[in-house]
């Protein structure tokens, strides 16, 4: 089972991002993701059994407050001809601490995760050809807060992955 732990996004925030994404479609060629699939990955586990993961999430979220989310410009991973386009989210102390705690609690239970440094982002499109011009600045900031940390199962398919929530812990409002 291919799984990852992510912050769920409030619907209004996801809708705002989808509106931004629709604008970008005019300038950027790629496979844009549906708003329902937007999330902010805290830890990518890859193939894993469920043992210990829910309790790690629970431990990381107990007494943790909702996480403010603030957009921080567009960015990309990968090559110009085959990139991932994302919306950056400001690396605030609260957000960085939550990702670190989730990873520590997973590690403490012997659950392995991808140890690449945490770069908060929400993927907007894959298989993107980045135009020669710079990515446009955001016209206005997007702000909200996240109050759910969820273990998702990812199923890969030809037309993109689908994500199924398996376990959710709430953060305090």
Question: What are the residues binding ligand 2AM (CB under 6 A)?
Answer: 4, 41, 44, 84, 114, 123, 154
- Report yes or no: 2 and 155 within 8 Å, Cβ to Cβ: yes
Any idea what DSSP says for residue 138? P
- In whole angstroms, the minimum distance from the beta carbon of 112 to ligand 2AM comes to 12
- Nearer of residues 157 and 173 to ligand 2AM, judged by Cβ: 157
Task: Report the residue count for the chain.
Answer: 173
- Nearer of residues 138 and 161 to ligand 2AM, judged by Cβ: 161
5 CA to centre of own chain: 9
- In whole angstroms, the minimum distance from the beta carbon of 113 to ligand 2AM comes to 9
Helix/strand/coil percent split, the chain, to 5: 25, 40, 35
- Nearer of residues 85 and 169 to ligand 2AM, judged by Cβ: 85
- In whole angstroms, the minimum distance from the beta carbon of 117 to ligand 2AM comes to 11
- Say if residue 156 is exposed, middle or buried (CB neighbours under 10 Å; 0-12, 13-18, 19+): exposed
- Nearer of residues 49 and 62 to ligand 2AM, judged by Cβ: 49
């Amino acid at each position: 089972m291919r799984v990852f732990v992510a912050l769920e996004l409030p619907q209004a925030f996801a809708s705002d991002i989808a509106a931004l994404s629709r604008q970008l479609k005019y300038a950027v060629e790629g496979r844009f993701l549906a708003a329902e699939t937007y999330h902010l990955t805290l830890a990518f586990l890859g193939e894993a059994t469920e043992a210990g993961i829910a309790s790690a999430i629970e431990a990381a979220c107990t007494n943790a407050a909702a996480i403010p989310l603030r957009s921080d410009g567009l960015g990309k991973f990968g090559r110009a001809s085959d990139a991932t386009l994302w919306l950056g989210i400001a690396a605030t102390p609260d957000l960085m601490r939550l990702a670190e705690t989730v990873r520590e609690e997973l590690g403490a239970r012997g659950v392995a995760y991808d140890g690449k440094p945490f770069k908060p982002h929400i993927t907007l499109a894959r298989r993107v050809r980045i135009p020669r011009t710079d990515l446009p600045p955001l016209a206005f900031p997007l702000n909200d807060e996240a109050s759910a940390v969820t273990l998702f199962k990812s199923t890969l398919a030809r037309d993109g992955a689908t994500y199924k929530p398996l376990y959710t812990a709430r953060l305090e409002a």
